[in-house]
Amino acid sequence: MHHHAQLYIDGHWVAPASPGLIAVENPATQQSIGQVPEGTAADADRAARAAAAAFPAWAALPGAERGAYLQKIADGLKARQDELGRLIASEVGMPVKLATRVQAGNPIFTFGACAKIAAEGFPEERIGHSLVSRVPTGPVACITPWNFPLHQIAAKVGAALAAGCTVVLKPSEVAPLNAFLLAEVIHAAGLPAGVFNLVTGYGPVVGEALAAHPALAGVSFTGSTAAGKRVAAVAAATVKRVSLELGGKSASVVLPDADLAAAVKGSVAGCFLNSGQACSALSRLLVPAERYEEAAALAVQAAAAYTLGDPMVDGTRLGPLASGLQRQRVRAMIDQAVADGAELLCGGSHPSEELPLGYYVRPTVFGRVRPDARLAREEVFGPVLAILTYENEEEALAIANGTDYGLAAAVWSADEGRALAFARRLQAGQVDINGAFFNMLAPFGGFKQSGYGRELGRHGVEDFLETRSIQLPQRQG
């Protein structure tokens, strides 16, 4: 059990303003595995003021020294990687081996990368008689989701600290335990008091208090599009710098000359990662109409390989969804797709008889999904793939771009140049060609209602910087 009764504010573990606690549940067993404080607006205020007080000294610290702190954090997380993998697997349900590699490994890499970026610094630039520099935005709030909890924390907190900002972190109440482990590592690394602060609680209370707080200069949020709109609206009252990483309905477009078997297998993997609980999940598979039957059979075959089960057991490839509410939403989307006339090829909303406990949803594939159907336009956030067909490339492009989202996409073709030309026309923040691997140093973020701003690598750090120009007097003669 992981019981936390204190918040981390101004370099100390402190009692929250209210005695309320939030229970944290293991989605595979439906049993409580810990608790965290139910923070209040008063706690958010205390943390924001601590971050604001610590900002001038942290911003003035040479980048190499900030980088050294960040490397200590990376090393501290590395020493506890196996513990982190097990903890996050128990919070969100990702199979433990994958969680150890991805959910724990990615944050370690990110903090290390941010350490190097901080040490490299942000050189000033001369433009005519102006001196242009990049300076830290100020104290910021980082509000993070539950699906890749520590990965998203690292992408924001690591980048903010590298840029010279101080931070108040509000993790998701669904999966907050890993944030306390991070706070322990940060405390051991010796960061100056107030540079990093942790306040747990609910979004409408703590999240909104941070977004509205006048002492904070920015807010970086990852979550649903609806919640992101609310964060932006609240932050607008103080004209904060806002970065939003929101939903997606990403298309995987298989061009006619592609290796269909490889494309379908790769698309299913891109849809089912973390039980489909990924904003960039490839949840729409677009195939030529004349190859639909073959693609459908391949998708069913690929889905069958995703063994549903306890995330702590070897051989499990698909764990539970993170909560009962999430399972309810996904099942409702599946039932709606059936009612709308989509062809259910495998899976479905009924529970698995072998798994009476846990928030499981069987790997599900729908075929002959209409582009205007709800399943083709709205984010499911579960292991549900929709197969759509097209007659020509222009129709494929129109379907792929025909949603409110623009986070990610994929293109498959035997001709890399053809795939690249198609990729350049997609309205998406990142596009994979022929199953190319995710790049942890490249910018991540979306177009349209998938949000604005970028995370990861140097672009992610620069999201926490402001640009200033100083006009120098010109000598006469």
> In the chain, where are the structural domains located?
2-246+450-469, 251-439
At residue 477, the pLDDT reads 58
pLDDT reading at 378 higher than 90: yes
pLDDT reading at 168 higher than 70: yes
Q: What is the mean pLDDT of residues 410-417?
A: 98
At residue 352, the pLDDT reads 84
Which pLDDT band holds residue 474 (cuts at 50, 70, 90)? confident
| Both tokens assigned to 30 | 């439906």
Instruction: State how far the Cα of 428 lies from the Cα of 125, in Å rounded to an integer.
Output: 31
Residues 6 or more apart whose CB falls under 8 angstroms from that of 376 comprise 249, 284, 369, 370, 386, 388, 399, 403
CA distances to 80, 161, 166 from 192, in Å? 22, 12, 10
At residue 351, the pLDDT reads 87
Region for 8 from its dihedrals, namely left if φ exceeds 0, alpha if ψ lies in -120 to 50, beta otherwise: beta
Task: Judge whether 25 counts as a catalytic residue.
Answer: no
8 A C-beta contact, residue 318 and residue 273: no
Q: Which residues of 215-245 are buried (b: 16+ CB within 10 A; e: fewer)?
A: bbbbbbbbbbbebbebbbebbeeeebbbbbb
Which of 115-119, 331-335, 354-358, 448-452 has the weakest average pLDDT? 354-358
Task: Judge whether 354 counts as a catalytic residue.
Answer: no
Q: Catalytic residue among 114, 142, 165, 279, which? A: 279
**Tens digits of residue pLDDT in 223-251:** 999 999 999 999 999 999 999 999 999 99
Q: What is the mean pLDDT of residues 64-83?
A: 98
In the chain, the percentage of residues whose pLDDT exceeds 70 is 100
CA distances to 103, 128, 296, 382 from 98, in Å? 7, 52, 27, 17
Class of domain 2-246+450-469: alpha beta
**Tens digits of residue pLDDT in 361-377:** 999 999 999 999 999 99
pLDDT reading at 353 higher than 90: no
Q: Catalytic residue among 91, 245, 455, 462, which? A: 245
| Both tokens assigned to 324 | 């009962």
Instruction: State how far the Cα of 318 lies from the Cα of 271, in Å rounded to an integer.
Output: 11
Residue 5 phi/psi, 5° resolution?
-110, 0
Homologous superfamily of 251-439: Aldehyde Dehydrogenase; Chain A, domain 2 (3.40.309.10)
Q: What is the mean pLDDT of residues 67-85?
A: 98
Amino acid identity of 206?
Answer: V
